[in-house]
Structure 1
Amino acid sequence: MANWNEPRTTQPGFGSVPRAGGAVVFDEGLRRHMLSIYNYMTSGVLLTGIVALLTANSGLALTFATGPMRWIVALAPLAIVFAMSFGANKFSKTTLQAMYWGFAFLMGLSLSTIFLIYTGGSIAVTFFATAAAFAGLSLWGYTTDKDLSAMGKFLLMGVIGLIVASVINMFVGSAPLMYAISFIGVLIFAGLTAYDTQKLKEQYAQLRGTEWAGKAIVLGALTLYLDFINMFLFLLRFMGNSRS
């Protein structure tokens, strides 16, 4: 095990209170672990945003909004998410990293189409509002002593309900239903942000020192990335100003 992960061996003086060296090392390791997850997640979101903005400014967004390319840029990121989630045991950390960056890039191509619908100013305002909400919710999930596992099961069921409702509304085309889905979607992914943060924090105790620790950083970043992007997209339906 690396030296930075070893407790100090200096003997305490007579009458001094021994320090809980193991606890200090664990806390430091946990902070580094979570910081790595946040760095990956933030870098992925920034890559997506830059690619989306450049694609929109180049005029290629319209290509990705219509025709066969629409389905390619929409389904390719989903395929990568499933591959990373269910094939993590087969992939190395390096492979998972490459898949994560590829996913973030493809999401940028897909999300470039929102610039065809909403004004750039309203997209920026919604992005920063989402970032502020995400930071607060993730901090609460990291620091709270409340067990959020029961809430997590309820929220995951809610995600399934959102998918079903969204598919139905593709055929119905109801504006009130769309806003209802968006409102519930914001609440669900806000809750998932706190729940997933707590879950990632708790996983560290089981994974530290194992080969899975590196993979967990990439997969954890993917989880928080999805929470952020989904909350952003649902919130954009309320805060976004239409170009038409």
Structure 2
Amino acid sequence: MNNFGTEEPRLVNPDRTGLNAFFKKVYGYMFLALLVTAATSYVGVTVFAVQIATMLSNPIAILILAGIMMAVASFASGQSMSNPGRSFGLMMGYSVLMGVFFTAIALTVNLGMIFSAFVTTAAVFGGMALYGLNTKRDMSSMSALLFGAVIALIIGGIINLFFFNSVVYLLISVIGVVVFSLMTAYDMNKLKQLYFSVQGNTQSEQGVAVFGALSLYLDFVNLFIYILRLFQIFGNNND
């Protein structure tokens, strides 16, 4: 999960002024990406609802869209250090694609549930991000475990897309919330260390900022998706 190949620095009471400015930039990029996703979803619901609903009613179309999104995210991450501007543009493109995906969700889930899931996601994300930023623990040892868990979630989700089982769906949703909560803390912890390893190099700092914004954006939207699933499952059980 470390695209930079940098050795983890040991930090002793580092100056947080630059770190705070760095994370202000990271979250600025991340919130811009979320805004693009929300705007795309709004246009999708109000203008292209029929077309998007028809397209995403086919599991194969969902897999194709997911494949394109994974390719764009991977390329954006790989370009973050060598060409931060291109990486940022790709992140915005990814945000648009995610907006298309969320259009299908907005068409089938009531706004009250979406809002509740969003608030819950923001609270969980914020808490885990603060933990990852402030903990003195080095979380790099979690990399392999989290990467394996994400791969397992992807494979399990694809299988359940074709052979749906409600118990498996619930289990995947719960595991997804746990994994992306931990991933949020891990990414914040990693970004803090990456920042201090490139501090003073303007282009490298910019590259890490874009990389961090993309990582945290992915953590947030995936956490939101799994939390929304749980809201749907238990909301339907209460009807």
Instruction: Report the TM-score, using the length of structure 1 for normalisation.
Output: 0.81
| Deviation digits for residues 115-164 of structure 1 (CA, Å, limit 9, x no counterpart) | 22211110111011101111111011101112222233322221122122
Partners of 2:192 and 2:65 in 1: how far apart?
32
1:53-68 equivalence runs, <5 A: 53-60=42-49, 61-66=52-57
User: Match for residue 236 of structure 1?
Assistant: 228
Partners of 2:148 and 2:66 in 1: how far apart?
23
Partners of 2:106 and 2:132 in 1: how far apart?
32
Partners of 1:209 and 1:222 in 2: how far apart?
22
1:183 aligns with 2:174: yes
Partners of 1:87 and 1:32 in 2: how far apart?
22
User: Match for residue 105 of structure 1?
Assistant: 96
**How much has 1:72 moved relative to structure 2?**
5.6
Partners of 2:159 and 2:56 in 1: how far apart?
21
Aligned residues between the structures: 219
1:146 match: secondary structure: coil
Partners of 1:105 and 1:34 in 2: how far apart?
23
**How much has 1:81 moved relative to structure 2?**
0.6
Contact 1:63–1:69, Cα closer than 8 Å, also in 2: no
User: Match for residue 126 of structure 2?
Assistant: 135
Instruction: Report the TM-score, using the length of structure 2 for normalisation.
Output: 0.83
2:109 match: secondary structure: coil
User: Match for residue 10 of structure 1?
Assistant: none
Query: What letter matches 2:46 in structure 1?
Result: N
**How much has 1:197 moved relative to structure 2?**
0.3
Distance 1:111 1:64, change over 3 A: farther
RMSD: 2.2
Query: What letter matches 1:138 in structure 2?
Result: A
2:148 match: secondary structure: helix
Q: Which blocks of at least 5 consecutive residues in structure 2 are unaligned?
A: 1-12
Match of 2:144 among 153, 156, 181: 153
Query: What letter matches 1:150 in structure 2?
Result: S
User: Match for residue 173 of structure 1?
Assistant: 164
1:79 aligns with 2:71: yes
The structure having more radius of gyration, on CA atoms, is 1
Distance 1:124 1:64, change over 3 A: farther
Partners of 1:106 and 1:176 in 2: how far apart?
29
User: Match for residue 210 of structure 2?
Assistant: 218
Distance 1:100 1:116, change over 3 A: same
**How much has 1:184 moved relative to structure 2?**
0.4
Q: Which blocks of at least 5 consecutive residues in structure 1 are unaligned?
A: 1-22
User: Match for residue 43 of structure 1?
Assistant: 32
**How much has 1:205 moved relative to structure 2?**
1.1
Query: What letter matches 1:224 in structure 2?
Result: L
**How much has 1:69 moved relative to structure 2?**
6.4
2:171 match: secondary structure: helix
User: Match for residue 190 of structure 2?
Assistant: 199
Partners of 1:64 and 1:52 in 2: how far apart?
15
Distance 1:37 1:64, change over 3 A: farther
Partners of 1:45 and 1:99 in 2: how far apart?
14
Identity %: 31
| Deviation digits for residues 45-97 of structure 1 (CA, Å, limit 9, x no counterpart) | 1221221123112242324424686566443322211211234455x222112
Query: What letter matches 1:47 in structure 2?
Result: V
